[in-house]
Amino acid sequence: MLKYFLVLFTSLLIFNVDAYAQYNNHRKKFRNIKWGSHIDSFYVKGQKKKLEKHEPKEDTPTFNYERTDHAYTIPNDDMSIGAAEFEKILYVVDNNKRLNRIVMYGKGADYYDIDFILRNKYGAAHEVQYLDTEKVKVWNVGDVDFILTNVLLDGYFEFAIIGNWKSDADHFKNISVEDF
């Protein structure tokens, strides 16, 4: 009997560790593009993707991240997550041209689809702010922040995923110090 109990316990332990590793690894990337990837090494479904510098159009609303020199797009990118459709998906890089956030813009009821997806995957938002013309919800999941902003007056919403990959890299460096 003890032998069966040990086999069952070991199996459950292995299953839980594997599930956690998959869950944790899933947040380390967006559409298989790892946080911190250089813009010259973006791979989606095994194919290298060339990013194009994003140039805001005069006749469309311009959002904060579009005004930066660090915003790029992927030609023919999948413009949806679940049932939500986006008008723009921007890949924003840091000064070293490494991916540190994804910013998506949509409008209308698609906001509620993304809100549902986030609540279903990660539970209630960890922070909710009501500003004059915006409602901002924040989910902090490990080293990734999900920020959903509903711009109430314009009917647009912004969905940002921010990967703090540098924190992970620094942590690994710090635990591997052999100087003393």
CA 129 to chain centre: 20
Q: Name which of 21-25, 51-55, 73-77, 146-150 the model is least confident about.
A: 21-25
**CATH code where residue 62 lies:** 3.40.1000
Assigned domain for 50 exists:
yes
Assigned domain for 121 exists:
yes
Coil/strand/helix, residue 12? helix
Q: Following DSSP, what letter does each residue of 137-157 receive, concatenated?
A: EEEEETTEEEEEEEETTTTEE
Q: Provide the number of structural domains found in the chain.
A: 1
Q: What is the pLDDT of residues 76-88, one digit of tens each?
A: 999 999 999 999 9
Assigned domain for 7 exists:
no
Q: What is the pLDDT of residues 116-149, one digit of tens each?
A: 999 999 999 999 999 888 899 999 998 899 999 9
Q: Average pLDDT for residues 8-27, to the nearest whole number?
A: 47
Assigned domain for 137 exists:
yes
Query: What's the predicted TM-score (pTM) here?
Result: 0.75
65: containing domain? 31-175
CA 34 to chain centre: 10
Burial class (CB in 10 A: 0-12, 13-18, 19+), 57: exposed
Coil/strand/helix, residue 76? coil
